[in-house]
Amino acid sequence: MTKSDPWLPFDEINQDPWSKIIAVKRTSGKKIIGHVLPDVPEELIYAAGAIPLALAGAGITISLAQAQIPTYSCSHAMGALELQLKGALDSLDGVIIPYVCDTTRNLYHLWRQLFPNVACEFLRLPKKLGDPDAKLYLGEEYLRISKWLTGITGQEINKDSLKASISVYSKSRDQLKLAYLKMQSSPSTWSAQRVISLFESSFRFPREEHLILMNNLPWDVDGGDTSDRAKIYVRGKVWDPPEITKLFDELGLTLVGDEIVTGFRSVMVNPIVNGDLFQSLVDRHMSTIPYTGYYVDPRKLVEDFVERTRSCGAQGVVFLNPKFCEAAAFDTPDMVNALKKNNIPNLVLETSSRGTSMSQIRLRLEAFKEILADDLP
| Positions that interact with ligand SF4 (CB under 6 A) | 74, 76-77, 100-101, 103-104, 237, 292-293, 322, 325, 327-328
Closest approach of Cβ 349 to ligand SF4, in Å? Answer: 14
- Cα–Cα distance between 269 and 276 in angstroms, integer? 17
Closest approach of Cβ 351 to ligand SF4, in Å? Answer: 11
Closest approach of Cβ 23 to ligand SF4, in Å? Answer: 29
Burial 295-328 (b: 16+ CB within 10 A, else e): ebeeeebbeebbebbeebebbbbbbbbbbbbebb
Specify burial of residue 354 (Cβ count, 10 A radius: 0-12, 13-18, 19+).
Answer: middle
Q: 34: closest CA among 179, 204, 165, 199?
A: 204
Q: 217: closest CA among 198, 204, 243?
A: 198
Closest approach of Cβ 78 to ligand SF4, in Å? Answer: 9
Nearer to ligand SF4, 94 or 293 (CB): 293
- Cα–Cα distance between 141 and 125 in angstroms, integer? 8
Closest approach of Cβ 64 to ligand SF4, in Å? Answer: 18
Nearer to ligand SF4, 55 or 327 (CB): 327
Nearer to ligand SF4, 190 or 305 (CB): 305
Q: Which amino acid is at 296?
A: V
Closest approach of Cβ 203 to ligand SF4, in Å? Answer: 16
Nearer to ligand SF4, 179 or 349 (CB): 349
- Cα–Cα distance between 249 and 268 in angstroms, integer? 23
Nearer to ligand SF4, 80 or 196 (CB): 80
What residues are paired with 180 via a beta bridge? none
Nearer to ligand SF4, 47 or 320 (CB): 320
Q: Which value, in Å, is the radius of gyration of the alpha carbons in the chain?
A: 20
